[in-house]
Amino acid sequence: MTRKTIWHFTFVSLIIGFMLAVQFQTSQEPDVRDTRDIWEIRRDLQKEQELHKQLLNEIRKYEETLEKYEQQRSENKGAILRQTVEELKKEAGLTEVVGEGVVLYIEQMYDESYVGPVSDTISADLLRRLINELNMYGAEHISIADQRLVNTTVIRDINGVTKVDSYPLRSFPIEIKVITPDAEKMYNRLKASTIADDFALENLLLTVSEPQQRVVISPYDGAVRVKQMEAVEEARR
């Protein structure tokens, strides 16, 4: 067998091998199967049902509002509209809110024998995690160091300083106020949660105050910019 022939065979078998491997991988591709067991399916079903209920409630609420609009259109056009605006403002965090809730304090926690770098800020990831946890437990209004959290609030690390929107968190303790419909429940859930351990890993101490009857959260002080929205044609008429 000449050298050239061997090279031809090698080349051809290389291509065949490659095609075989690709074909093999293509046919091996696992199709996505439903591997949930009956409990998981039940749980998912329950979740969907809850969502369904919630949506129905919302539909009912809007239908009521619509009815009110229709009824009072002639008499006092403005009042309902103003009420809606107030409601929306409250939801968007543009008004001061007072209600029962809990107050959380984040402090530094270094024991006396500690030597090493001391961090003077809290990481954005940890703070976001805490906020997610609070939301999960039913928080309605939250402020961090008197900065109201709204839908567009960003918590991020800019040049090593964690900022809420544009307010830097530089000094401890950081006060987080939370308003919730059931402060007792929130308190208990926070007590049971492992989030304090996550804080301890960063040498921070998370303390949760006893449920308070009156927590005041100041309004969002920035301007809410709406970039990607416009009025529907019909509504203008």
Cβ distance to another protein smaller for residue 23 or 76: 23
Q: State the nearest-atom distance from the C-beta of 36 to another protein, in Å.
A: 25
Alpha helices by DSSP H, the chain: 3-28, 38-72, 77-92, 124-136, 183-192, 195-201, 233-236
Find the part of the chain contacting another protein (CB under 8 A) among 7-15, 45-53, 69-77, 102-110: 7-15
For residues 9 and 110, which CB has a smaller minimum distance to another protein in the complex?
9
Going from the C-alpha of 226 to that of each of 147, 151, 229, 233, the distances in angstroms are: 20, 12, 6, 18
Determine how many CB atoms are found less than 10 A away from the CB of residue 45. 10
**Taking the C-alpha atoms of 164, 107, 197 and 193 in order, what is their torsion angle to the nearest 10 degrees?**
-70
Name which of residues 8 to 67 contact another protein (CB under 8 A): 8-27, 29
Q: How far is the CB of 28 from another protein (least distance, A)?
A: 9
Pick the closer one to another protein by CB: 32 or 201: 32
Toward another protein, which CB reaches closer, 25 or 171?
25
Residue whose token pair is 């067998």: 1
Q: How far is the CB of 1 from another protein (least distance, A)?
A: 7
**Closest CB 30 distance from another protein, rounded Å:** 12
DSSP 3-state assignment of 177?
strand
Binding site for another protein (CB under 8 A): 1, 4-27, 29
